[in-house]
Amino acid sequence: MTEVFIYDHVRTPRGRGKKDGSLHEVPSVRLAAKTLEALRDRNGLDTSTVDDIIMGCVDPVMDAGAVIPKAAAFEAGYSTKAPGMQISRFCASGLDAINFAAGKIAQGADDIVIAGGVESMSRVGMGMSGGSWYMDPSVNFPAYFMPQGVSADLIATKYGFTRDDVDAYAVESQKRAGAAWEAGYFKNSVIPVKDQNGLIILDRDEHMRPTTDMQSLASLNASFQMPGEMGGFEAVGIQAHPEIEKINYVHHAGNSSGIVDGAAAVLIGSKAGGESMGIKPRARIRAFANIGSDPALMLTGPVDVTEKLLKRSGMKLSDIDLFELNEAFAAVVLRYMQAFEIPHDKINVNGGAIAMGHPLGATGAMILGTVLDELERRNLNTALVTLCIGAGMGTATIIERV
């Protein structure tokens, strides 16, 4: 099989995903186009050689609809020879786009692929593409459908994380993200979003609150008690995990991922593809895997998929230098650390989505880029990137520097 290499990656800053967010004025397709432009310009890419552009987008409707990567290629001025495809596996879409691209390259179908994702949550909104998973009683009943926040609280209850535990994790995420920005760890990858006149619209993650402390979080009310109790979802959780008498509601806006706008793209290729582009690979995609997991806990898929991936790749936990797990909710990461006894200083070392936000379809590509930068900065070798996924799934990828 052909080896698959990562040559470059960029991301936009993450704008607050509300009407007053800085990126709200930027159409979804333009966010995606900015990343395509940057990869082309940074690498002198002949876009007629791009075999595919694969982008994750969870709600590909309205201005994100109709195969947004192909649309973005037009806006970015790419050669009409570059095709595009949009995929969704909910929150892991950005990473799955990369894995999909890697699969095509490994199989020998493609040599150069851009993979990433985009989500303008302020413009499109969550759940706007509808879906039988949560709407159709023939599906949502057997799927033990619950709002993700209730699932996160179910995880906290089942695995014994208190409000203090999740809040402390959130405070640390903010602190790490703030310090990483301060130290310029993201500067090579974050491309400022500029208008057509070159004026900056946004050049840093605007969801962050690095000064967050336990006291400020303590003032926030749990967000998911109401749907849990009034909407009947607590009963769903308990019937799936009947050893639980009552859900302990601990998650709120401050220890859950932020709703933001953003896009990311990773330049992937075979050795031959790199040679034709005339650039050096930065890392190899060593292995990847997907799995379905307990649908009620919904967000514990990273544990299951990590076990599967290590087994399939013949690797051990100790082979992994850094872990990057999307901070959908604090309890998701705490459970992962608990399950594998991973010390906090090896995971999400520069903060995560609690601080910087989670632009659904883009996040997987963003955090892969973040950990690759960090491997280089620390001169380490191997990282495992994983995300929890709606409906109970997990995606994980192992990369190693070359």
Partner 1 sequence: MSTYKNFTVETDADGIALVTWDMPEKSMNVFTMEVMDEIDAIVDATVADAAVKGVVFTSGKSSFSGGADLTMIKSLFSMLAEEQARDPEAAMKKLFDAAGRMSWLWRKVETNGKPWVSAINGTCMGGAFELSLACHGRVAANSKSVKIALPEVKVGIFPGAGGTQRVPRLANAQDALQMMTTGSSLTAQRAKAMGLVHQVVEPAELVNAAKQMIKDGLKPVAPWDEKGFKVPGGGVWTPAAAQLFPAAPAILRRESAGNYPGALAILKCVYEGLQLPIDTALKVEQRYFTEILRTTEAFSMIRSLFVSMQELGKGARRPTGQPKTEFKKVGVVGAGFMGASIAYVTAAAGIPVVLIDRDQEAADKGKAVSEKLVADSVGKGRLTKDEGEKLLSLITPTPDYATLADATLVVEAVFEDRTVKKAVIEQVEAVISDATIFASNTSTLPITGLAENSKRPEKFIGVHFFSPVEKMMLTEVILGEKSGDRALAMALDYVAAIKKTPIVVNDTRGFFVNRCVFRYIHEAYDMLIEGVPPAMIENAAKMAGMPVGPLSLNDEVAIDLSQKILKATVADLGPQAVDERHLALINKLVDELDRRGRKNGKGFYEYPAKPAKKYLWPELKTLYPQKKAADVDVTTLKQRFLATIALEAARTMEEGIVTDPREADVGSILGFGFAPYTGGTLSYIDGMGVKAFVALCEKLAADYGEHFAPTPLLKDMAAKGETFYGRFDPYAKGREAA
Q: State the minimum distance, in angstroms, from the CB of residue 195 to partner 1.
A: 33
The yes-or-no answer on residue 57 being catalytic is: no
Please pick, among 57, 91, 251, 252, the residue that the annotation labels catalytic: 91
Q: State the minimum distance, in angstroms, from the CB of residue 134 to partner 1.
A: 4
Q: CB-wise, 129 or 313, nearer to partner 1?
A: 129
Beta bridge partners of 399: 285, 383
Q: State the minimum distance, in angstroms, from the CB of residue 338 to partner 1.
A: 15
Q: CB-wise, 187 or 246, nearer to partner 1?
A: 246
How many CA atoms does the CB half-sphere of 210 hold within 13 Å? 12
Q: State the minimum distance, in angstroms, from the CB of residue 164 to partner 1.
A: 19
Q: CB-wise, 52 or 294, nearer to partner 1?
A: 294
Give me the residue label for tokens 């906290």.
156
Q: CB-wise, 74 or 141, nearer to partner 1?
A: 141
Please pick, among 207, 251, 252, 358, the residue that the annotation labels catalytic: 358
Q: CB-wise, 157 or 348, nearer to partner 1?
A: 157
Binding site for partner 1 (CB under 8 A): 127, 130, 134-138, 140-141, 145-147, 227, 231-236, 238-239, 241-246
Give me the residue label for tokens 């001169």.
379
Q: State the minimum distance, in angstroms, from the CB of residue 131 to partner 1.
A: 10
Q: State the minimum distance, in angstroms, from the CB of residue 139 to partner 1.
A: 9
Q: CB-wise, 223 or 370, nearer to partner 1?
A: 223
Residue positions annotated with a catalytic role: 91, 358, 388
